[in-house]
Amino acid sequence: MSERIAFIQQCLDRKKKIAEVCIEFGISEKTGYRTLKRFKELGLEGLKDRSHAVLEHPFRIIEEVQSTILELKRAHPEYGAQLIHDRLVQHEPERHWPAASSIGEFLKRQGLVRKRPRRNRDHERAELNSHLTKATEPNLVWSADFKGEFRLYSGFGVYCYPLTVMDQKSRFLLGLRALGTTCVKDTKREFMRIFSEYGLPRVIRTDNGVPFAQPNGLGRLGSLAFWWVKLGIKPEHIRPGTPSENGAHERFHKTLKAATTKPSSSSFRRQQQRFDDFIEEYNIHRPHQSLFNRRPPGEFYINSPRPYPGKIPPLTYAEGTEVRLVGSNGCIKWRNRPITLSTNIIGDYVGIAEEGGDRFSVRYGNLQLGWIDAASGDFKPEVRWTESD
């Protein structure tokens, strides 16, 4: 500032030409004449530094769009910048919307973005899940799980156990039910409703918890899994202690928790209403980053061509297979010897077929339970899924 005042004083003294004064102060004539002009127009104020920011920014978010973004963020606090961008494009694709990065910066200025600690994801990378069925089309693989229980906001210590069922290809949410327990009876009732509405999948993938698995059972299969087998559905368990193998479903639970349980409702009825509203939002409106053009799951899912039968037909086996009834103790009789299988299939029939030599396989529908050593009469468990004959 002092340099500029000294420059102006020498120019006003007229002892030297302005060009000579400019050379003395090491500036161009253009800068000198501009500085002199500002002083004559504004006085000392004209000599102060001015902002170099552009007067009009081509990518500035106009107030109307700002209001739309804020309205969407308030309606869905769990939405991030990318989801908000995708939702805007989804409903008005012909309009030019700000980029997700611009929306993110705007939300930061509004104090609507929480700063999250950086995570080291090296140890979180899952191994190649070669043992799991790849979902190449809708209804090939469904995943099911119970989201962690939470207490209803009723003050009476009542817990809710949400059962979630999802199609792995389309990410379509098939079921979301607020249950008071994880018992087989309630879980089976909900699956009957889902099967009646959407049909049957080929595979249902779960973890190893109750009621999807029975740790001390044959092949870790419980009564629910054997019921699926009777319907022609393959039960598929992820490896114990590796929830990353069902990563898409686990990530969905994080979204569900943020949208419907903070805070929780005061009753099962009210909590279920929030779940029902979330199902519509998730399937019909919410963009999904893993789907084509980030479209909602409802645009990709179609019902299964395999309807749920009103009455489950009995299991049938190929010609030449010996059929044995599973007794009340979970055993069958073979060559006057008891063979222990599972109490979860009491009253059903299994098939015994010779594989060659002294080895006989034992099957329950498409599920091979193991094989019998004819020489010793011992049963060797070896549970695996087989295709229909």
pLDDT (tens digit per residue) in 263-287: 899 999 999 999 999 999 999 999 9
Q: How confident is the model at residue 118 (pLDDT cuts 50, 70, 90)?
A: low
The pLDDT of 20-45, averaged and rounded, is 88
Residue 99 has φ and ψ, to the nearest 5°, of -65, 160
The pLDDT of 65-82, averaged and rounded, is 86
Query: Is the pLDDT score of 126 beyond 60?
Result: no
CA distances from 274 to 262, 339, 363 (A): 11, 50, 44
Query: Is the pLDDT score of 121 beyond 80?
Result: no
Domains 63-109 and 134-299 share a fold: no
Alpha helix segments (H runs only) across the chain: 2-13, 18-25, 29-42, 63-75, 81-91, 100-109, 184-198, 223-230, 247-260, 268-280
pLDDT (tens digit per residue) in 344-381: 999 999 999 998 778 999 999 999 999 999 888 899 99
Ranges of each domain in the chain: 2-47, 63-109, 134-299, 322-385
In the chain, what is the straight-line distance between the N-terminal and C-terminal CA atoms, in Å? 94
Q: Do 324 and 345 touch, CB atoms closer than 8 A?
A: no
The pLDDT of 119-145, averaged and rounded, is 73
The lowest-confidence range among 72-76, 118-122, 215-219 is: 118-122
Greater model confidence, 242 or 332: 332
Which CATH architecture does the domain made up of 134-299 adopt? 2-Layer Sandwich (3.30)
The pLDDT of 38-64, averaged and rounded, is 76
Q: How confident is the model at residue 117 (pLDDT cuts 50, 70, 90)?
A: low
* Range picked from 6-20, 38-52, 179-193, 308-322 for highest mean pLDDT: 179-193
CATH number for the domain running over 63-109: 1.10.10
pLDDT of residue 54: 58
Query: Is the pLDDT score of 113 beyond 90?
Result: no
State what percent of residues in the chain have pLDDT above 90: 52
pLDDT (tens digit per residue) in 99-109: 888 888 888 88
Q: How confident is the model at residue 124 (pLDDT cuts 50, 70, 90)?
A: very low
115 Cβ contact list (under 8 Å, min separation 6) = none
Cα–Cα distance for residue pair 138/120, rounded to 1 Å: 33
pLDDT of residue 62: 84
pLDDT of residue 122: 41
Residue 381 has φ and ψ, to the nearest 5°, of -65, 135
Q: What SS3 class is residue 360?
A: strand
- Residue appearing with tokens 């009621």: 211
pLDDT of residue 254: 92
Average of per-residue pLDDT values in the chain:
88
pLDDT of residue 56: 57
Cα–Cα distance for residue pair 355/90, rounded to 1 Å: 57
Q: Would you call 12 exposed, middle or buried from its count of C-beta atoms within 10 A (0-12, 13-18, 19+)?
A: exposed
SS3 content of the chain, % helix, strand, coil (to 5): 40, 20, 45
pLDDT of residue 10: 87
